Amino acid sequence: MLCTQNVPVSGQGVKCGMPTEIFDQDIEDYMRLPKALVGLNPEMMVPVSGDSMIDAGYEDGDLLLVRFGVPYRDLDDVLAMVDGLCTVKTLITDELGQKWLVPRNAKYRAIALSEDMEVKILGVVKGVQKQASRPSAREILQIIRRTKNELLAMRKLSDAEIDTCIATIGLEVKHARQWYAVQRTLVDCKQASEGDFSAFCERVARLLPHHDHLPVAKELSRMAVFSFAKPVALWDESNAPVAGKWFYDYKAIALRMESLLTNLKRQKTPTAM
């Protein structure tokens, strides 16, 4: 269906909990919906605040499509104004003729509507647009790291190929301790043993004997602390042995080394779908 009809979006959330104030003039935006979903009566998208209608499927942050000025009946979810305050509840009449506004969460009490209360049913809920969930950055980075490791593990690089990567990245190393970023990346990519700094330093010295900043095993071991003791994807400037520009220089070298290794592996590894 084509979205051709503008429906206003209220900037004021309506409580799915205790009633709250709402202002008709508080229009924050407009949302286009298919004409078939929009009736002749005025409609508005109203944000949900609270959890009293959780069992009806209305969660905090969702947008309710409320149609105003239409007939309502028992078991409709309605936007009601009670003594000047607004709330969304299920409307029902009991066996004695008493009208109630009922929450859909057992921890809240129903509201009995009496003659001394000022009550107005403003509209009926006709739909809900769910709020998209947001995962944590850590969760997503872990998935990415696992996927990268699985792809890289598909083909073990030869010593000669790794030597080529080390020689290439050596052009970007401007300080002896920055070789730690290279060694950590080799560990992440399953191309070196964690903590074996001596073997790595001997390898660099053999490949680049005239490099101005050759690594020293003892110095590299001092870098394996705090977040730097973890895979590169989890390095955190607030918990690293270096900060500011230094931190980003280390991170850039690590990412560049990873790119070199990955490109070599992709030359012979089928693309993952």
What is the identity of the amino acid at 58? Answer: Y
Task: Tell me, yes or no, if 52 is annotated catalytic.
Answer: yes
Task: Tell me, yes or no, if 49 is annotated catalytic.
Answer: no
- Cα separation, 157 vs 51, in Å, equals 54
What is the identity of the amino acid at 229? Answer: A
Tokens of 218: 């003892």
What is the number of alpha carbons within 13 Å of residue 37 lying toward its C-beta?
A: 21
- The DSSP string of 66-112 is EEES----TT-EEEEEETTEEEEEEEEE-TTS-EEEE-SSTTS--EE
Of the candidates 10, 15, 52, 265, the residue annotated as catalytic is 52
Beta pairing, strands 119-129 & 77-82? antiparallel
Q: Where are the beta strands (DSSP E) in the chain?
A: 3-10, 14-15, 27-34, 43-49, 63-68, 77-82, 85-93, 99-102, 111-112, 119-129
Of 152, 181, 170, 172, the C-alpha closest to 264 is 152
> What does the radius of gyration of the chain's CA atoms come to, in whole angstroms?
31
- Cα separation, 90 vs 106, in Å, equals 13
- Cα separation, 218 vs 29, in Å, equals 60
Of the candidates 35, 89, 136, 268, the residue annotated as catalytic is 89
What is the number of alpha carbons within 13 Å of residue 11 lying toward its C-beta?
A: 5
What residues act catalytically? 52, 89
